[in-house]
Structure 1
């Protein structure tokens, strides 16, 4: 059930009305929102509701057990290892089983063997990567004694809460659960900012991201040999804008919808294409995933506390695993690996050679690197990625086929907000909070009208991150 659809609009209209009525009564509101979230999740495939409930029960049981044996380090660690293994095996079976079977068959066949292990073609549950990480962060925080185990119903709300269930943001338990325990009222909901975020997310997704895919990205990445170098260059740039507007558009809607239900989610994007380094980029792009990888993987590997060589290895390992988290494909692994190598090289230059480009050149260099590496993220295979680069380098004499004023306008609109001065951005946020609610509602209405106009007969393209 995607956000920019009539089905979701009807669903959410009912949910928001009942939520506001029940909000002063937590005893009734919590079971209601869990039920609504399970309906939302089960709409695509009801069979995966049982999987989600299993994750809730297993991780809550483990968190309680970790707390009960907190003074026995061996039992405490064994319980943590068991639940994390369970979580990762569940994720692995659904997301990576066929990848490993196919890889084994290809590898064995390459050595002249005769292997044909059966790939089961298991259906990937939407959002499993996100709620698996959400569950792991909960049991890890209990293990590290950063929090006590939550009530079962509170943890169930955290893990199933539909605004962030299928594509984040990945919310820390310490950010979400206290909000469940505080008195909440519909009168305290910031209606105007929530509605503006929803409208902005709809426009980013449907007006910019989907149209960039239709006008350039899908065509060029699908058959790069048919297009000129200029078409390919613009398509690479267009995909960088598309994935930003698609994912940040989803995040804007998720944050706005959560606001209307009385919750604050953490920021997930902060003008990533104005980053002056890769480290800066990952502080601005998918910020909740970045901090998860830092807090629960990079630090667990030793972080930067065990020497420069080990730090470089930790950076590369963390980003490679982060790439693999995105999908069961060698292209995602290469994408993460390249970012890890880039971060390690960048750190080496900063720490040992004291080499620094002027700020503007640093922004340009980071932007170019990030967008070129996106080619691996978008391509189906490594061969497809390499073909894109070959055609980019060798087809400058060909006639351009996809570059139009509308395409350039959409790319410009998608990048425009990235380079506004920080003070102007803050001022804009202050003004949004002062917008009258009826005017904000009109903005949502206009955004919905654009959705219907641009998607009539075609439907809304799935969010890119729904596949993860």
Structure 2
């Protein structure tokens, strides 16, 4: 069930009406939201609802054992087993086929032919997101950053449909306290929520969809058939597409949750205006980058100790971040590229003082953006060979552009320009429209939605991050 569809609109109208009718009965309201979330998830494949419920039970049980453990040693063993159980589930569904294939290739390399058991394992939508959600909850209980919660609350934490299949990864310390109290919604929250939903619909159904079908998909499918200008335009278009696609889901998730009375953290903050790759990861998929920082990078040692150890830790973190995105060597290479550049930035800052001035900042934005785009080629390409073909194609500068139309050029330019709008523009706009009478605001919103519906192409492709 996709957000920008009539099916979801009808589903949400029912959820909205019933949940607010249970406003004064918080426990029953949470139970209803769990049932609605399982229905939402089951619309993809009902067989995995049991996996979702079992994952919640696993993490609730691990947290209960942690708080009841008699000694620190037992607590460490329990948290270790809880994290291992979560990662085992993730590893089986997401990486089983990859590891079997690589094992077979390794045996073949040494001349040992073996028929390894290759099962057709269907990847549950959003498993990486709700697994990381569970891991962070268990670790935070162990670190005493959050109290062990009731089974009902943990189940809703793991299953809540706005963030279930593509994030953001909302920490237990942020969401559980909201579940414990009666939800409220203000007029400003409502205005902000509707603006985020409308903005997300436009980014997903107009910008991302048009760029995907118009240039990104045909060029990445066969980069050898296109010249340098189409290849350059397509990688810029993919940079805009993946941002608009993923940030649109986050915007709509934040807006939908707000209409139900819950606040989610921001997940994107104009990432393509970053003057360094470190700054890019403070602005891109913030919930994942902060998760990797708090639960992987810092436990590895963070920036403590010699410079080389900090570089090692950031490289390991980004390699594993690449693996999180997919079971393919192209994702590992993508993470490795980011890790190497982040390590280089650390060495550069240690040896030279930071450059200041407007032009240094502009140069930093341009260089960072093109490093990110180089990484997007690895991220989007189906294989290393296609990624190599793509890069080699930049030498075909004499071949004219065949796919770049004025409309697509405007979408690419507009998608990049939105990163340089005033910060927190949606919040500011919400503050301006909040005093409007409800009929006026509703009519304006309806006109915006009708305009989006008129501009968007037929059909709605799944969000890119559903595959992760």
TM above 0.5: yes
> Are 1:396 and 2:388 counterparts?
no
Q: CA deviation at 1:118?
A: 2.8
Measured in 2, the distance between the counterparts of 1:180 and 1:147 equals: 13
For each residue in 1:239-279, what CA deviation from the matched residue of structure 2 results, as whole angstroms up to 9, or x when unmatched? 00000000001111000000001000000000000001011
Aligned to 2:192: 193
Aligned to 1:162: 161
Aligned to 1:89: 88
Aligned to 1:223: 222
For each residue in 1:103-153, what CA deviation from the matched residue of structure 2 results, as whole angstroms up to 9, or x when unmatched? 111222233331331321200000000000000110110000112101111
Aligned to 1:37: 37
Aligned to 1:371: 373
Q: Give the secondary-structure state (helix, strand or coil) at the position aligned to 2:299.
A: coil
For each residue in 1:410-432, what CA deviation from the matched residue of structure 2 results, as whole angstroms up to 9, or x when unmatched? 11221122112448776445335
Aligned to 2:271: 272
> Are 1:68 and 2:68 counterparts?
yes
Measured in 2, the distance between the counterparts of 1:75 and 1:206 equals: 51
Measured in 1, the distance between the counterparts of 2:330 and 2:220 equals: 14
Q: Give the secondary-structure state (helix, strand or coil) at the position aligned to 1:300.
A: helix
| Within-5 A mapping of 1:1-400 | 1-69=1-69, 72-185=71-184, 190-354=189-353, 356=355, 358-392=360-394, 394-400=395-401
Q: CA deviation at 1:381?
A: 0.7
Aligned to 2:464: 464
For each residue in 1:263-320, what CA deviation from the matched residue of structure 2 results, as whole angstroms up to 9, or x when unmatched? 0000000000000101100000000101100000001111111221111110000011
Measured in 1, the distance between the counterparts of 2:34 and 2:425 equals: 39
Measured in 1, the distance between the counterparts of 2:441 and 2:120 equals: 45
Task: Report which stretch shifted further, 440-449 or 193-202.
Answer: 440-449
Q: Give the secondary-structure state (helix, strand or coil) at the position aligned to 2:46.
A: coil
Task: Give the structure-2-normalised TM-score.
Answer: 0.95
Contact 1:23–1:186 under 8 Å retained in 2: no
Measured in 1, the distance between the counterparts of 2:415 and 2:441 equals: 21
Mark the runs of 5 or more structure 2 residues left unpaired by the alignment.
none
Structure 1 pair 105/218, CA: closer, same or farther in 2 (3 Å)?
same
Contact 2:230–2:404 under 8 Å retained in 1: yes
Aligned to 2:410: 409
Mark the runs of 5 or more structure 1 residues left unpaired by the alignment.
none
Measured in 2, the distance between the counterparts of 1:84 and 1:361 equals: 42
State how many pairs are aligned.
465
Measured in 1, the distance between the counterparts of 2:436 and 2:390 equals: 45
Contact 1:4–1:451 under 8 Å retained in 2: no
Measured in 2, the distance between the counterparts of 1:426 and 1:18 equals: 28
Structure 1 pair 158/239, CA: closer, same or farther in 2 (3 Å)?
same
Q: Give the secondary-structure state (helix, strand or coil) at the position aligned to 1:459.
A: coil
Q: CA deviation at 1:435?
A: 5.2
Measured in 2, the distance between the counterparts of 1:448 and 1:111 equals: 60
> Are 1:419 and 2:398 counterparts?
no
Q: CA deviation at 1:155?
A: 1.1
Q: What is the alpha-carbon root mean square deviation over aligned residues?
A: 1.8
Contact 2:183–2:262 under 8 Å retained in 1: no
For each residue in 1:304-340, what CA deviation from the matched residue of structure 2 results, as whole angstroms up to 9, or x when unmatched? 1122111111000001101110111111111011101
Structure 1 pair 210/285, CA: closer, same or farther in 2 (3 Å)?
same
Measured in 1, the distance between the counterparts of 2:213 and 2:315 equals: 34
Contact 1:277–1:363 under 8 Å retained in 2: yes
User: Displaced runs of 4+ in structure 1, greater than 6 A?
Assistant: 423-426
Contact 1:331–1:381 under 8 Å retained in 2: yes
